[in-house]
Amino acid sequence: MSIEIRDVNKRFGDFVAVDNMNLSIGEGELTALLGPSGSGKTTLLRIIAGLEQQDSGRIHFYGEDTTDVHVSDRGVGFVFQHYALFRHMTVFENVAFGLTVKPRKERPSKEEIRERVMKVLKLVQLDWTAKRYPSQLSGGQRQRIALARALVIEPKVLLLDEPFGALDTKVRTELRRWLRRLHDEIHVTSVFVTHDQEEALEVSDRVVIMNQGRLEQQGTPEDIYDHPANAFVFDFLGNVNQFRAQVQQGQARVEGHALTQGSWPKDRNGEGLAYVRPYEVDVLKQPEGDDLLPATVELISIIGPTVRLELTAPGSEHLVHAEVPKSRFRPLGIQQGDQVWLRLNNSRVFLAGDVLPPVGS
Amino acid sequence: MQHSRGIGQTPWVRLTLISVGVVFSVLFLLAPVVFIFQRALESGVGFYVQTLLDPYTRHAIMLTLLVAVVTIPVNLIFGVALAWLVTRFEFTGRKVLMTLIDIPFAVSPVVAGLLYLLLYGNQGWIGSWLDDRDIQLMFAWPGLIMVTIFVTCPFVARELIPLMQQQGTSEEEAGLTLGASGWQVFRHITLPNVRWALLYGVILTNARAMGEFGAVSVISGSIRGQTNTLALHVELLAQDFNIVAAFVSASLLAFLALVTLVAKSLIEWRETRRQQQEEQTA
């Protein structure tokens, strides 16, 4: 393990930012710290970097205790959300900074600095911008320079704080795929913070989900998406519908309609919530079976190849969202205001005691 | 010029406003300045130079320069340290400190001078203790410097604080993660980022330090050849009905003010151009 976080706590006044955090980050992996705002993910990242001092707990890099090592000696590369490039320096000077501030006996020669700077600039495909100033570059280019600046000192770990947060959607998507490919080339242990679940799932080797300063779940993106450990993770990883559900003798029901597919505790009885993703909701014109839930169509919006429906249904306090491919939706001939039937596939039922308060919905 | 018909954009309104503006500026701003130089030079360049070479005038000039030369570095260091403190650290009393910086702006300089007189004068709390040790601050050059420092101490800090707040700390943090020491971060990142605001603050400090009258007049005693600064010298000459000589000295102060204004405009012009460039390329 290359980064070990042991029993780390951090408070700001009454606010608990990081609550007894224990985490191991594997060597050469790209790990996403994912969570809603205020979940403590950025604070944790800054503690790893040494930019923030934890109240208690230790940080180890490659088995070495770095808790009391000053940020400038920790050997981390840090990339900020708003780039934090030195505005009065050229791109070359920015990237060279980490080498030129080294004490004289460790500092490489001028030629070596030039060589190493140009090498990382080539790596981020921006060697042609060396003589420009940060203000003359686009957001995406600035962030790649910031990355080059962090990489030139050959950091033990690379930490990125919402690296794509300030960019528009298209650039953001391009840049995160590019980061993934870059990481496959250089394999530096990396941790990046994001609140965007899509970004975390697409880019990372491992996802760590945080909420209210605590770790909720960690695993591979696929693992986490397919087997959310609890209701919070289920809710946070994408749009989800909630239905009031009862589990009796191994059978889960919503409003008396038995659920046929999905998972729920088989050995316990009680009230709970059934979670179903919008694309797992089938919309039918006719009641073809007794596992169907009646609903009324409130709104139909067509977004490219997908039709999104908002429905009201008994058992759900919120609007129910359903996503159906346009090719399948058209033949049904459903109009706004129609009475339809819903089949809930792959639902996941959490009993009342296990359900965490949903965030953001 | 855009001729859009906005609020009151009829030609005669525009004409009236422009005339009022021009007449006002000429009468109240330009005319006195021109008048100063005109009166100063009315007895010829020879007399002008001769007056400047008068020992008392020369002494006043040197004293004024001395006050400025000491005040500027002191307030430069104080201003930078204070701005650094209130923008880079969170501590209780931070807001109070930021309000305290403004005291010299809020208090009339005469009052400040009086306070210093009460505190450091021969009869004052600290002054009597110093007097026993034969140290005299009031009615001597150290006192002039002390009140000038007091009056001008907010200028540098006031210029730096908003800028440093707006720029935030992430560039400095980036510097730290790249292995720079605290001093290297200050020297290579913080200082270059605020250099124009710093220069601007120094220019303002300098202008005020040289032109300060109120506080200085209370504690100076206006002893010719000893504690008479240029601003005080002008008043003394005027009281002696030595009008032309008064104007000669006044013209020096006015000239310094003009230099300050030009320097300030140059910096502002440069800053706007830089911002425009940034907006264009962003």
The 10s digit of each residue's pLDDT in B205-237 is 998 999 899 899 988 888 888 888 989 989 999
Q: What is the pLDDT of residues A143-194, one digit of tens each?
A: 999 999 999 999 999 999 999 988 888 999 999 999 999 999 989 999 999 9
Q: What are residue A130's phi and psi, to 5 degrees?
A: -50, -40
A278 shares contact with chain B (CB less than 8 Å): no
Which is nearest to B256 in space by CA: B75, B35, B33? B33
Chain A residues with CB-CB distance to B193 below 8 A: 87-88
DSSP codes of every residue in A289-350? STT-EEEEEEEEEEETTEEEEEEE-TT-SSPEEEEEEHHHHGGGT--TT-EEEEEE-SEEEE
B135: domain CATH number is: 1.10.3720.10
Find the residue in B nearest to A159 (Cα): B177
Q: Are strands A293-303 and A339-344 parallel, antiparallel or unpaired?
A: antiparallel
State the pTM of this model. 0.80
In a domain, B11, yes or no: no
In a domain, B55, yes or no: no
Q: For position A331, what pLDDT does the model report?
A: 86
Residues of the domain holding B224: 62-281
Find the residue in B nearest to A52 (Cα): B173
Find the residue in A nearest to B169 (Cα): A84
A76–B177 CB contact, under 8 Å: yes
Q: What is the ipTM of this complex?
A: 0.82
In a domain, B45, yes or no: no
A164 shares contact with chain B (CB less than 8 Å): no
Q: What is the pLDDT of residues A69-97, one digit of tens each?
A: 999 999 999 999 999 999 999 999 999 99
Q: Which of A78, A101, A136, A158 to mutate to test the interface with B (most CBs of B within 10 A)?
A: A101
Chain A residues with CB-CB distance to B170 below 8 A: 80, 82, 84
The total of other beta-carbon atoms located within 10 Å of residue A241's CB is: 25
A51–B177 CB contact, under 8 Å: yes
Helix or strand holding residue A31 (H, E): strand A30-34
Chain B residues with CB-CB distance to A141 below 8 A: none
Q: What is the pLDDT of residues B133-152, one digit of tens each?
A: 888 888 888 999 999 999 99
Which is nearest to B36 in space by CA: B235, B208, B244? B244
User: Quick one: chain B helix, strand, coil %, rounded to 5?
Assistant: 80, 0, 20
In a domain, B91, yes or no: yes
Chain B residues with CB-CB distance to A101 below 8 A: 175, 178-181, 184, 188
In a domain, B154, yes or no: yes
Q: How far is B1 from chain A (nearest CA, A)?
A: 30
Mean pLDDT of chain A: 90
Q: How far apart are CA B114 and CA A165, in angstroms?
A: 56
Residue A205 clears pLDDT 90, i.e. is over it: yes
The total of other beta-carbon atoms located within 10 Å of residue B181's CB is: 15
Find the residue in B nearest to A85 (Cα): B171
In a domain, B7, yes or no: no
**How wide is the angle at C-alpha A211 spanned by C-alphas A206 and A214, nearest 5°?**
85
CA end-to-end distance (rounded Å), chain A: 36
CA dihedral of residues B250, B256, B259, B264 (deg, nearest 10): -110
Q: How far, in Å, are A64, A119, A156, A158, B111 from residue A78 at the CA level?
A: 20, 19, 11, 6, 52
Residue B1 clears pLDDT 70, i.e. is over it: no
In a domain, B249, yes or no: yes
A86–B176 CB contact, under 8 Å: no
In a domain, B178, yes or no: yes
If you average pLDDT over residues B194-215, what whole number do you get? Answer: 90
Q: What are residue A216's phi and psi, to 5 degrees?
A: -95, -45
Q: How far apart are CA A192 and CA A3, in angstroms?
A: 13
Which is nearest to A143 in space by CA: A189, A117, A194, A178? A178
Residue B9 clears pLDDT 80, i.e. is over it: no
Largest CA distance in chain B: 74
Q: Which residue of A73, A84, A97 is in closest CB contact with B173?
A: A84
Task: Provide the number of structural domains found in chain B.
Answer: 1
Local confidence band at A358 (pLDDT 50, 70, 90 cut-offs): very low
A101–B179 CB contact, under 8 Å: yes
Mean pLDDT of chain B: 88
Q: What is the pLDDT of residues B112-125, one digit of tens each?
A: 999 998 888 888 88
